[in-house]
Structure 1
Amino acid sequence: MNLPTIAPESPEPVLSIALPAALDGRDGINRARGGHRQIAADSDVEAVRLWLAEYAGSPHTLRSYRKEAVRLLLWATQTLGKPLSSLTREDFLLYEQFLAAPIGDWADPARPRRGGARRLFDGPLSERSRHQALGIVSGLLSYLVSAGYLAGNPLALRRRTGAAARRTRRVERYLDHALWDHVVASVEQWPRLTVRDHQHYERSRWLIRLLYHTGLRVSEAANAKAADFYQRRGKWWLHVVGKGGADGEVPVGAALMADLARYRAFHRLPPTPSGDESTPAVMTVAGDPTKHLTPAAVYLIVKEVFRRAADARATNDPAGAAKLRRASTHWLRHSAATHQADAGTDLRFVQKNMRHASIQTTGIYLHAEDDRRHSDTVHESDPSPQHTNIM
């Protein structure tokens, strides 16, 4: 099978893909007939392009969603000979099997990773990645149903299994209070013999506190400005631009504001940011006030913090050290939500602080109730049960 040539990806919300006229979806069997459409698209590519345009303000999300849209459009037309708007539930069962084992040109390592002739897979997708891919596609289909373009979403019939069914389990990728305290303390042991050492220490010290106390995602921290910290009724808040460009706000305590003041003073900036300055909340190591870090840079800084903390704990707590080596930026977000819930913060407030769309998502951070149930059920000091011979 020869895959068609795909135009190179660009940062613009453009889906540059050409499909045969017979497979462009104008006559798809799942097209909505009658009613009032909310979009003017007549073909599947036009409709998908409008969906992608909704994410123009979130480049990372746009790239991820465009990748899944391209995969689906090409698979449907090349493998099944169907347009997207004719796919049925049975077709998506086949698509899920395909994601678990893409073959031929789809995952040919000889094809480049980028450009028009690129391969679309590096290999089989894990269960978690398949769930994510189908979730994105389901979001696309739901959008097209709401827009009056499709009559229904075949993936709405999908039964929750595997990773999807386990989403209500408590999240485990977080640092308990002792490990978090160790991370904070270990940074204080970093050498500061050179100017560069001191700059790296101050930035790392500030960054992990910012991520932990606000629960920011890595891209949110990279894009945050000092001016996003503001006062209302005498209390500090942080304005956050989250997924899909959604606005949110997170309460900020005096301790974190003191850490911000320390970081800014180190770089000879006024301790309290003004409302109109464009200085990044986290700057380059030398403190360039005109350059934001990339999300990748934020990720690597935090990974180094965890690596050094793991090295310091390896002898006395090998299990804790191993956990720290696995940890990443998102673990700090999970830790923030978990520790807020542990402290008895109203779950509705935790939801707003984390900017979760559903309070069910926030519920996976409720560990304290499980701890109390375990303590009330299991009494370690109870004598071993006596064995009784049963006649």
Structure 2
Amino acid sequence: MQEELVEPEDHAAAAAFLPLPALPPALDGRDGANRARGGIAQTSARNDIEAVRLWLAEYVASPHTLRSYRKEAVRLMLWSTNTLGKPLSSLTREDFVLYEQFLAAPSADWADPERPRRGRERRLFDGPLAPRSRRQALGILGGLFNYLVAAGYLAGNPLALRRSRMPQAARSRRVERYLDQALWQQVLDGIDAFPQDTPRERQHYERCRWLIRFLYRTALRASEAAQARAGDFERRRGRWWLRVVGKGGVEGDVPASDELMADFARYRAFHGLPGTPAPGETRPVVLGVAGKDERPLTSTAVYLIVKTVFRRVADRLEADDPAGADTLRRASTHWLRHTAATHQADAGTDLRYIQKNLRHASIETTGLYLHADDDARHERTTAAPNMQLGDIAR
């Protein structure tokens, strides 16, 4: 089970809460070559560990993001101090060229399978990082350095000089991490095949059934679903809406269909609750398995429930649909967001509405979910009468 992170009351408490590796005093960044000199600092951080800990504290409410960001910060600090003998606050653009090469081919001791997965002596790599993973790692670190520059801790961001090497074709590539209509129906059918013989099995079944439908019909992120409260559903002009606070604190409204509200009423009735949520009701939309604990789930818990559902359905499909089973084993909560957007686009929903539903800043991002034109082009092309070689010669 993944560690559960409890949100501290403030960033100072959060900073003390986050574990990071100890560094020797000579390499703690207190006198780093890239430290900001003069000016008014926006943080009291005295060394690199304190500065990085403050940055991580900004993400303490998003456990999945926090773990990912902490992993990249730890990798960089250990590589910098162990390989270069430099603190993080002395790194240059040339150092990051070497680091990117290291990510593509980490030395054997960094990926030693004999090392444990947890603890101070754990291995930090399973092997070389793929190009996409390297871009993601450096993007996260670029965000870290931007933050430390804005905080007045560093003088500059060496990663700001890095030229993006992502080809245009990759930037415009369609989103492919979604379930097609047939596989989505297999997921729904698979959940209905879950055992329900004992009260505990029935509780698990009802929660899985509701959570999967809730994520699909609202296209919420895992963190948004975990924090959603019953009172966030509100009725306006005879229609239900779900109020959502997403990434960066951006608020939005998502249409709630009659089907979604019927599924919600069923789920609440199973736990002895009124079918219609009350205005201002603080009870979580997704309850603990027994329905008694009114604390919201963590985004990690939502993620693990969905992964378990996909794995169980994949096991059921393995014999008859191995390709579908493989897809489900790779799928996660974010695939349901992509699936919802793709199915809406395939059904002809106006792209502007999908953009608002997903709360995308740019409609170009939403356009990556348009697959219907590609499907039609493929069908028209492959369905055309086959030309004979003789016809071509004439």
Coarse TM-score class (shorter-chain normalised): 0.7 to 0.9
Aligned to 2:88: 84
- Cα 1:48–1:359 change in 2 (3 A) is farther
Name the aligned partner's letter for residue 235 of structure 1.
R
Question: What residue is the counterpart of 1:264 in the other structure?
Answer: 268
Query: Structure 2 length normalisation: TM-score?
Result: 0.80
1:184 matches 2:161: no
After TM superposition, the structure 1 = structure 2 runs for residues 282-321 of structure 1, keeping only pairs within 5 Å, are 282-307=286-311, 309-310=313-314, 317-321=321-325
SS of residue matched to 2:134: helix
Give the TM-score of the pair, scaled to structure 1: 0.81
Which is worse superposed, 206-215 or 316-325? 316-325
* 2:15 alignment partner in structure 1: 13
8 A Cα contact 2:62 2:223, kept in partner: no
2:63–2:299 CA contact under 8 A, matched in 1: no
Paired residues of 1:106 and 1:120 also in contact (CA < 8 A): yes
Distance across 2 between alignment mates of 1:381 and 1:139: 50
Q: 1:41 to 1:310 in 2, by over 3 A?
A: closer
Q: Does 1:73 align with 2:51?
A: no
Name the structure 2 match of 1:238: 242
Q: Which residue of 2 aligns with 1:118?
A: 121
Q: CA separation of 1:103/1:316 partners in 2, compared to 1, >3 Å: closer, same or farther?
A: closer
Q: 1:104 to 1:367 in 2, by over 3 A?
A: closer
| Offset, 1:36 | 5.5
Counterpart selection for 2:135 from 122, 131, 136? 131
Comparing 106-115 with 71-80, greater Cα deviation is found at 106-115
Unaligned runs of 5+ in 2: 8-13
AA in 1 matched with 2:259: A
Q: How does 1:189-200 map to 2 (within 5 A)?
A: 189-190=193-194, 192-200=196-204
TM-aligned CA deviation for residue 156 of structure 1: 2.8
State the Cα deviation string for residues 162-202 of structure 1 (Å, max 9, x = none).
Answer: 69973431121211123223333444455544444433332
The AA in structure 2 aligned to 1:172 is: E
Verify the 8 A CA contact 1:52 1:65 in the aligned structure 2: yes
1:313, 1:104 → 2: CA distance? 38
1:131·1:163 contact (CA, 8 Å) conserved in 2? no
Partner of 1:345: 349
1:197-256: per-residue Cα shift (whole Å, max 9, x none)?
433332222121101011122333333332332234543222334446654442212210
Q: CA RMSD in A?
A: 3.5
Kept after mapping to 2: 8 A contact 1:102/1:121: no
Aligned to 2:220: 216
Whether 2:387 is the aligned partner of 1:381: answer no
Q: What is the deviation of 1:331?
A: 1.9
Measure, in 2, the Cα distance between the counterparts of 1:314 and 1:46.
49
Task: Please list the CA deviations of residues 62-111 of structure 1 after superposition, one character each: whole Å capped at 9, or x if unmatched.
Answer: 23222322222232233212232332222111112222343466445565
Output the CA distance in 1 between the equivalents of 2:314 and 2:63.
Answer: 33
2:207 paired with 1:171: no
The code of the aligned residue for 2:75 comes to R
Alignment deviations for residues 321-349 of structure 1 (CA, whole Å, 9 cap, x no partner): 44344433322111011112223334343
Say whether residues 1:58 and 2:62 are aligned partners. yes
Distance in structure 2 (CA, Å) of the matches to 1:104 and 1:190: 43
1:10–1:68 CA distance, 2 compared to 1 (3 A):
farther
Q: Cα gap change, 1:230/1:317 in structure 2, threshold over 3 Å: closer, same or farther? A: same
2:370 aligns to what?
A: 366
| Deviations 1:140-175, CA, capped at 9 Å, x for gaps | 112233344434322233344469973431121211
CA distance in 1, matches of 2:95, 2:121: 25
Query: Which residue in 1 is equivalent to 2:10?
Result: none
* 2:36–2:152 contact (8 Å) kept in structure 1: yes
- C-alpha contact (below 8 Å) 1:13/1:55 kept by paired residues: no
Provide structure 1 residue ranges, at least 5 long, that are not aligned to the other structure: 1-8
Structure 1 pair 99–281 and aligned structure 2 pair: CA distance change class (3 A)? same
SS at match of 1:97: helix
Percent sequence identity over matched residues?
Answer: 65
